[in-house]
Amino acid sequence: MFICTYIDIFENIHIFKQISIYVNMYNRKKAIDYAYAWWNKRNPMFYNFDKFGGDCTNFISQCLYFGEIQMNTYSTNGWFYHNSYSRSPSWTGVEEFYNFATNNKSNFGPKAKVVTISEIEIGDIVQMKQTGNRYHHNLLITKITKKNSLSNIFVTCHTNDAKDKKLSDYYFNEIRFLKILN
C-alpha cells in the first residue's frame, strides 16, 4: 500500500492530508515465507483439495494471497476463496488460474504473463503438463541459484508436497513460466 501526501489549499492555509491509495503489489518474500510455513501441512482456514484432483493451485493461491495480492470477488470468474463451496474456479484449477491471471485487467487478483526461463524470479509460478492438452500442476519458485537451468530452479508445492525441490527432478512434457506482474 502506498501513502501519498498532497496539499489542499483552502483559504490560504496549507493542509496536509494523507490518502491511502490501494495498490495490489505482490510481496514475493511473504509468499515464499508462507510456502515454507505450510508446504507439508494444510492451513485450516482453507479446504484441502488433495482428494479432489489435488491441492497445488489452492496452495499457490494461498501463497499469492498471503503475498498481499487481494482477492477479486467481483464475479464468479474472479479469484477468491470464502470456503470450499464459495470459491472461484481460478483459486483451485490450474488452467482456470492461468486463464484468470493472464487475462486479468482489474486491480484485484493476480496478473501474470508467460515468460521465458531467463525472465523468472522467486515468487513466480511454474505450470506443468504431462500428457493431453491441459496443464495439471502449479508450483511456486522459491529459490534460483542460476537462471536458464532447471536443476538450479527450486520449487515448493502441495499435492506431492515438496520444499525447494529441483525443477529438473519433475517429469513433464511441457512447462510454462508465469511471471506475477502485481
Q: Does position 17 have pLDDT exceeding 70, yes or no?
A: no
Grid cell in block for residue 123? 515468487
d(CA 26, CA 112): 11
**pLDDT tens column, 63-92:** 999 999 999 998 768 999 999 999 999 999
Per-residue pLDDT, averaged over 91-119, amounts to 96
Per-residue pLDDT, averaged over 169-182, amounts to 96
Q: Does position 19 have pLDDT exceeding 70, yes or no?
A: no
Question: For the chain, which domains are there?
Answer: 26-180 (3.90.1720)
d(CA 1, CA 143): 26
φ, ψ of residue 147 in degrees (nearest 5): -70, 165
Q: Does position 173 have pLDDT exceeding 80, yes or no?
A: yes
Predicted pLDDT at 180: 98
Predicted pLDDT at 11: 39
Predicted pLDDT at 132: 87
What's this model's pTM, rounded to 2 decimal places? 0.86
